[in-house]
Amino acid sequence: MSVLVVGSIALDTVKTPFEEHADLLGGSASYCAVAASFFSQVNLVGVVGKDFPGEHVEFFKSRGMDLAGLQMVDGETFRWSGEYMVDMNVRETRSIALNVFEHFNPVLAPGYAETPFVLLGNIGPDLQNHVLDQVKKPKFVIADTMDLWINIALPELTRLLKRVDMLILNDGEARLLTKETSLVKAGQKIQAMGPRFVAVKKGEHGCLLFGENGDFFSCGAYPLEDVHDPTGAGDSFAGGLAGYLASTVDGTVKFTDLRRAVVFGSVLASYNVEQFSLERMRTLTQKDIQDRYDGFRLFSHFEEIE
């Protein structure tokens, strides 16, 4: 089955303690869509300016994406610049220029409304709700969010949570949204706000998955010797998770499906951080993904995720 991916598409400048690169392909939709494309066909919805490099469009096409929903308008593409500290979990935004993204109106292309799996990337909850107003009986809806929307758009976010099957957010955002210090309490409290499932990302410490009837799964992060660029790791996780579900689930999504999906999402995120931007994804193979998934099972002693 296909995945509808909606979010930002950007040109990033990223600085780490060791390197700095400019005009990189970025944005939540880019990472989500590319990661999902390793498992399923992707319908991509986003907006770019006339300055958006054609090579990035060709990369999307090479991943088999349907780009009927990719709007190219007059103006400049959304740009973001950030710097990572020695602790790669700590990031500082240096500049943001919304440019054409400021007036982004996600209108679904013909046929997109029937896409069974929907992944709403990290954009304003008003836009996420606008997308859900257009889709028709989706099988499973996943939404990502961030602290900005919790702080400035809580009513719209609260409305969104009643309309989605799964929310993905990080540990700090979960605590901010619920005012709980315990992530277990936070996950349960978010479920009570609407979504059947909640995934709380913990960066290099993995992810907590909350399901119905008290179901719970803790997934570690794949141990890496070198992290070059953490940008988009969370989006790659969400995309890998959504793509895997779309490729394997025919009926109702169950907790056992999500446990495997979380591991595959973590695999995609682990590969993404090995190079800047989406460069590692250009050379990634299905064998690489399966090998690292098998490695997860081995070091986790969790054979039953099969």
Q: What domain range includes position 65?
A: 3-305
pLDDT tens profile 142-183: 999 999 999 999 999 999 999 999 999 999 999 999 999 999
Annotate 27-86 with three-state secondary structure.
Answer: CHHHHHHHHHCCCCCEEEEEEEECCCCHHHHHHHHHCCCEEEEEEEECCCCEEEEEEECC
Q: Flag whether pLDDT at 302 surpasses 70.
A: no
Question: How far out from the chain centre does Cα 144 lie?
Answer: 6
How confident is the model over 267-286, as a mean pLDDT?
96
According to DSSP H, which parts of the chain are helical?
A: 28-36, 54-62, 125-132, 147-152, 154-161, 171-178, 183-192, 233-248, 255-272, 279-283, 286-300
Per-residue pLDDT, averaged over 27-31, amounts to 98
Q: Per residue in 199-217, pLDDT tens?
A: 999 977 889 999 999 999 9
Number of residues that this document lists for the chain: 306
pLDDT in tens, 41-91: 999 999 999 999 999 999 999 999 999 999 999 999 999 999 999 888 789
What is the token pair recorded at 197? 């499932």
221, pLDDT greater than 90: no
Residue 14 is encoded by which pair of tokens? 């990223």
| CATH number of the domain that residue 233 is part of | 3.40.1190.20
**Domain total of the chain:** 1
Query: Is 34's pLDDT higher than 90?
Result: yes
What's the pTM?
0.95
Residue 38 has pLDDT above 80, yes or no: yes
**Pairwise CA distance, residues 235 & 239, whole Å:** 6
User: Does pLDDT of 305 surpass 70?
Assistant: no
